[in-house]
């Protein structure tokens, strides 16, 4: 008997919880928030860069079985004075702002950073050369048979971008934004080098490692579409399998670069406040009017599990206040109104009284 009562109470609790859940879901379906209109904008830019490389170590593995070389050039200085150039020497950026307030974007970034071991410096070389241990220094010059170029480090990054608006005039024709970017992607270097007079060149782009970078920029937008951008980017690149004579090289390279570019920015959706001339006489676009609910549309949304629009509240006219009623109303005066005497007849006959 006790077991049956416990089971009955448990079933009652389950039924109550299920009823409450159904009521809450129905109430949620009836309470709706207006659907925020979608906004998007696309931009592209072309520019140039000025790189600055930190000293880095290059490891070379070359030779044949039985005659192997594995050595390092330690902390060599680099610049961007390459003796070879590639066909694509411009910084290119293509991005899309996807959120409602146009503050977040995805950007595809290409940076053709050039690297060249500075000519004339003394380079320390340690490791094994032709199966012999070596620890020496030498002058890194073409006259000694040494030069080393990455003619376009070619960083390809996918960035996440955040925009911070600093200043904007009322007509939206002038706007200043600060941009923060972070991304990662592959390296596609073009190599050309000579080691001990033995030249090797890889004229094709190759997938030669990966890189990651962080970038800060200031963007000046004019007439809501044309912009100029100045940015500072800090990158870390890990190269591998760079082509050298009868072998490969590896390098860890840290680069800072200033990038100056110009571009065009346009909206891909309607009613984007960044690209529409504001009208102060109208409500702001960010407030989307709520239309009266359509029963058929609401029924379709309920079937699809979407919230429906709430019914607008009807304006109720105020009820007029009743006229004040006096405490006592005086009775009407029943005194008969006197009738004026009729004038006498011309012949002297008296005029009869009324009612006679």
Q: Residue 144 has what DSSP assignment?
A: G
In contact, 14 and 234? CB cutoff 8 Å: no
Task: Kindly report the CATH number that applies to the domain delimited by 41-267.
Answer: 2.40.160.20
Kindly state the helix (H) or strand (E) to which residue 304 belongs, with its residue range: helix 295-304
d(CA 310, CA 290): 9
Classify residue 76 as exposed, middle or buried by CB count within 10 Å of its CB (0-12, 13-18, 19+). buried
What string of pLDDT tens digits covers the 356 residues of the chain? 555 555 556 655 565 555 544 444 433 333 333 344 788 999 999 999 988 999 999 999 988 887 889 999 999 998 877 656 555 789 999 999 999 999 999 999 999 888 888 888 999 999 998 888 999 999 999 888 888 888 777 899 999 999 999 999 988 899 999 999 999 999 988 888 888 888 887 766 678 899 999 999 999 999 999 999 999 999 999 998 888 888 899 999 999 999 999 999 999 988 888 888 776 555 544 444 455 556 677 667 666 665 555 555 555 666 666 666 555 555 555 555 555 555 555 555 555 555 44
pTM score > 0.85 for this model? Answer: no
What residue segments make up the domains of the chain, in order of their start? 41-267
Q: Which residues contact 117 (CB under 8 A, 6 or more apart)?
A: 73, 76, 77, 78, 123, 140, 146, 147, 148
Torsion of CA 96, 87, 204, 72, to 10 degrees: -90
Question: Regarding beta strands 67-76 and 56-64, do their DSSP bridges make them parallel or antiparallel, or are they unpaired?
Answer: antiparallel
Distance of CA 265 to the CA centre of its chain: 14
In contact, 177 and 71? CB cutoff 8 Å: no
């Amino acid at each position: 008997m006790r077991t049956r009562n416990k089971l009955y109470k448990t079933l009652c609790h389950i039924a109550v919880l299920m009823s409450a859940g159904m009521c809450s879901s129905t109430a949620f379906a009836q309470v709706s928030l207006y659907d925020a209109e979608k906004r998007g904008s696309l931009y592209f830019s072309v520019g140039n860069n000025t790189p600055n490389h930190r000293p880095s170590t290059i490891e070379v593995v070359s030779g044949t079985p039985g005659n192997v070389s594995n050595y390092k050039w330690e902390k060599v200085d680099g610049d961007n004075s390459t003796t070879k150039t590639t066909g694509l020497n411009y910084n290119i950026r293509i991005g899309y702002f996807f959120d409602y307030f146009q503050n977040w974007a995805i950007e595809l970034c290409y940076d053709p950073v050039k690297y060249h071991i500075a000519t004339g410096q003394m380079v320390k070389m340690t490791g094994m050369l032709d199966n012999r241990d070596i620890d020496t220094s030498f002058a890194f010059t073409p006259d000694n048979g040494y030069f080393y170029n990455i003619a376009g480090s070619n960083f390809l990054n996918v960035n996440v971008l955040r925009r911070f608006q600093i200043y904007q005039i009322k007509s939206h024709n002038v706007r200043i934004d600060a941009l923060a970017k972070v991304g990662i992607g592959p390296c596609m270097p073009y190599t050309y080098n000579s080691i001990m007079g033995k030249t090797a060149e890889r004229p094709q782009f190759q997938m030669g490692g990966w890189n990651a970078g962080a970038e800060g920029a200031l963007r000046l937008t004019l007439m809501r579409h044309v912009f100029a951008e100045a940015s500072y980017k800090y990158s870390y690149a890990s190269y591998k399998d760079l082509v050298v004579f009868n072998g490969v090289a590896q390098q860890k390279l840290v680069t800072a670069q200033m990038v100056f570019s110009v571009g065009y920015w346009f909206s891909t959706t309607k009613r984007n406040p960044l690209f529409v001339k504001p009208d102060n006489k109208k409500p702001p676009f960010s407030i989307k009017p709520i239309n009266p609910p359509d029963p058929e549309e609401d029924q379709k949304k309920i079937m699809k599990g979407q919230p429906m629009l709430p019914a607008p509240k009807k304006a109720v006219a105020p009820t007029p206040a009743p006229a004040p009623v006096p405490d006592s109303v005086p009775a009407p005066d029943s005194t008969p109104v006197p009738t004026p005497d009729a004038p006498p007849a011309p012949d002297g006959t008296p005029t009869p009284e009324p009612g006679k």
